[in-house]
Amino acid sequence: MKSAINAVVATKRNKQPRELAGMTLKVTEFVTASELASMMSVPVTDIIKACFALGMMVSINQRLDAETLAVIAEEYGFKVEFVGADVQEDMTSEADDEARITARPPIVTVMGHVDHGKTSLLDYIRKANVIAGEAGGITQHIGAYSVELESGKRITFLDTPGHEAFTAMRARGAQVTDLAIIVVAADDSVMPQTREAINHAQAAGVPMVFAFNKIDKPDANAEKIREQLSQMNILVEEWGGKFQTQEISAKKGQGIEQLLEKVLLEAELLDLKADPGKRAHGVVIESTLEQGRGYVTTLLVDSGTLRKGDIILAGQFSGRVRNMFNERGQAVLEAGPSTPVSILGLDGAPNAGDTFQIFEDDRDARTIATRRQQLQREQGIRTHKHITLDEIGRRLAIGDFKELNVIVKGDVDGSVEALTDSLLKLSTESIKVTVIHKAVGPIAESDVLLASASNAIIVGFQVRPTPGARKLAETEEIDIRLYSIIYDAINEIKAAMEGMLAPKEVEKVTGTAEVRDVFKISKVGTVAGCYVLDGKITRNNRVRLIRDGIVIYTGELADLKRFKDDVKEVTHGYECGLSIKNFNDIKVGDNVEAFVMEEVKRTLEG
């Protein structure tokens, strides 16, 4: 393959600028032939010829896959490094000015198990009741709150949900944070979700402060929690380790001031600084589509200052900051480092965890956003995995393979992602769950049409279908399920999946009879005179003839009589005469067992 290209590029090698040789090209997969040519300072026709030598017919604007890019670049003496679209654009971000750098408030994530008091702790700190706005009293989204303490110092808090379905959101909380407060209820123990939170913080290299909550309860035992943490190789300061702890009561406010002092002490050790004078850069915390307002995006600025009117690029979307609000909904004009704000003005809902940048020219921002969207679509199409022979063989071997297609729509990206992950985990050997589409916003007609085409169900989390979508769903008979608590959705879909499983046939014995006498009747065969020991023998039962505990024959009843009359059933304590279809080897002392096969709903475990 290489020799085929050598002939094409030999004439160009001498003309190539010497200083370019050996350079590393940082490219995204699927750059066009034209873009690759301009990066390497060679005519695009040479790239087309090189592709032709590889057996590929390409045009100037055709995108090339990673393998082709690597082979062609190598022939021209370049190395190729593949980067994501975000990384490629971030290389142009503005550098800090040493003269402007100042200290910034720490970003603190509150993590821990569900119902251990994370939101109650934030409530006390913020003097506001966040719980009142949460469905079922459970935090569903990541909240970002900036709090000014009595000392004048500021701390930015991220409240991550503690329920196990929000693993992905909790992980993201640890990625954008400087410090983590791990809340553990002193009257409980270190739960699996608490261990997960600790692992996320350790993986992100984030210092942790442990808050032992509910210390006012009579059965609170902080020493037990310290012992359980030590079993995870986490030694607290009281036991000679490095992790600070504080016993608190979030309801009564006990120990919270000391906890915040310890957080600020950890923050001082980190020496957190930022340049507020440059263009803003940071992370998307949440994004949602609100009726009458459009796309509302919660951002956390990590450097620079975000101002109203700035041109912003966040993930695959761009726009101008039309309005900016703090976490209490008050309008603000600018947001400095470590400040969370909600903005209006983006033309879409970026994914939580995407970075955002500020541009001077809206054309540049739009161009990059369009390029990212194209790349995303291209990768979605090119990397779509088709079913393999091995997979077909495995499915045929299982025999009763089924697939549940789901479309997930939610109010915020974090919930959509968490619900999608939880649904995918429901997949079993018998049923595969496939999320064919997930997005932020109300359930639209396009979602119903997609569900109709792919035989899917639609799951809406904190959203409702539009009137047109509802009408279309009724016409197309598409199942739309709406939820406001995430584990209700998971449990109901699990139940639906159990309904999809083919029912198990379970045998139920209805009665047994003992053969007391045997009569041979010509043209009829062997008739057994029986006494019903228990249950009842019914005319349409299947029967099993048992001799000395061994099943001799299984079949159907030919006749069932009481005296000379045909009967439908004979109950225990009565005598009857019966004959078995196509079987005559009946002996005195045999047992006849009557049974029916009942269909029982299978569970995912069964």
Judged against a pLDDT cut of 80, whether residue 248 lies above it is answered with yes
Q: Is the pLDDT of residue 103 over 50?
A: yes
CB 328 within 8 A of CB 339: no
Confidence of residue 91 (pLDDT cuts 50, 70, 90): very low
Tokens 């490095």 belong to residue = 242
DSSP annotation of 242 reads S
> Residue 128 — very low, low, confident or very high, per pLDDT cuts 50/70/90?
very low
Cβ neighbours around 339 below 10 Å, total: 27
CATH 2.40.30.10 residue ranges of the chain are 281-380, 504-600
> Side by side, which strands form the sheet with 431-440?
431-440, 402-410, 456-461, 480-483
Task: Tell me the two tokens of residue 581.
Answer: 């279809």
Residue with tokens 């109950």: 571
Where in the chain are all domains bearing CATH 3.40.50.10050? 394-500
Report the chain's mean pLDDT, rounded to a whole number: 78
Q: What is the pLDDT of residue 604?
A: 58
* pLDDT (mean) for 170-194: 75
pLDDT at 12: 43
CB atoms under 10 Å from CB of 252, counted, come to 12
Predicted confidence band of residue 268 (pLDDT cuts 50, 70, 90) = confident
**Pairwise CA distance, residues 167 & 328, whole Å:** 26
pLDDT, position 598: 83
Q: How confident is the model at residue 100 (pLDDT cuts 50, 70, 90)?
A: confident
> 97 with 64: CB under 8 angstroms?
no
Give residue-wise pLDDT tens across range 431-472: 788 888 888 888 988 888 888 877 788 999 888 888 888 888
Residue 194 has pLDDT above 50, yes or no: yes
Residue 14's pLDDT is 43
Which tokens in the block code for residue 253?
A: 């406010």
Q: Place 537 in a pLDDT band, splitting at 50, 70 and 90.
A: very high
Residue 41 pLDDT > 90: no
Query: Quick one: pLDDT at residue 11?
Result: 42
> From residue 450, how far is each of 258, 387, 408, 444, 471 by CA, in Å?
55, 20, 12, 10, 15
Average pLDDT for 565-588: 90
Averaged pLDDT for residues 505-512: 84
Residues of the chain with CATH 3.40.50.300: 103-273
Taking residues 466-481, report their average pLDDT. 85
Residue 75 and residue 112 in contact, taking contact as beta carbons nearer than 8 Å: no
Residue 303 has pLDDT above 80, yes or no: yes
Q: What is the average pLDDT across 93-118?
A: 77
Local structure of 233: helix, strand or coil:
coil
Phi-psi region of 255 (alpha: psi -120 to 50; beta: other; left: phi over 0): left
Predicted confidence at residue 401, as pLDDT, reads 58
Q: Does domain 281-380 have CATH number 3.90.420.10?
A: no
Contacts of 514 (CB under 8 A, 6+ apart): 530, 531, 533, 589, 590, 591, 592
The CATH T-level fold of domain 504-600 is Elongation Factor Tu (Ef-tu); domain 3 (2.40.30)
d(CA 153, CA 150): 7
Q: With bands split at pLDDT 50, 70 and 90, how would you rate the model's confidence at 131?
A: very low
**pTM value?**
0.59
pLDDT exceeds 50 at position 129: no
d(CA 578, CA 219): 69
pLDDT reading at 383 higher than 50 = no
Residue 502's pLDDT is: 62
The H or E element spanning position 496 is helix 486-500
Domain 103-273 homologous superfamily, CATH: P-loop containing nucleotide triphosphate hydrolases (3.40.50.300)
Angle formed by the axes of helices 118-126 and 256-270, to 10°? 90
Banded pLDDT at 488 (limits 50, 70, 90): confident
Least confident range from 164-178, 208-222, 327-341, 518-532: namely: 164-178
Fold of 394-500: Rossmann fold (3.40.50)
Residue 386: band (very low, low, confident or very high) from pLDDT cuts 50, 70, 90: very low
pLDDT confidence tier of residue 22, bands split at 50, 70 and 90: low
For 218, the token pair is: 């009579």
Question: How crowded is residue 57: how many other Cβ atoms within 10 Å of its Cβ?
Answer: 8
- Highest mean pLDDT out of 51-65, 69-83, 233-247, 308-322: 308-322
Cα atoms in the Cβ-side hemisphere of radius 13 Å centred on 73:
28
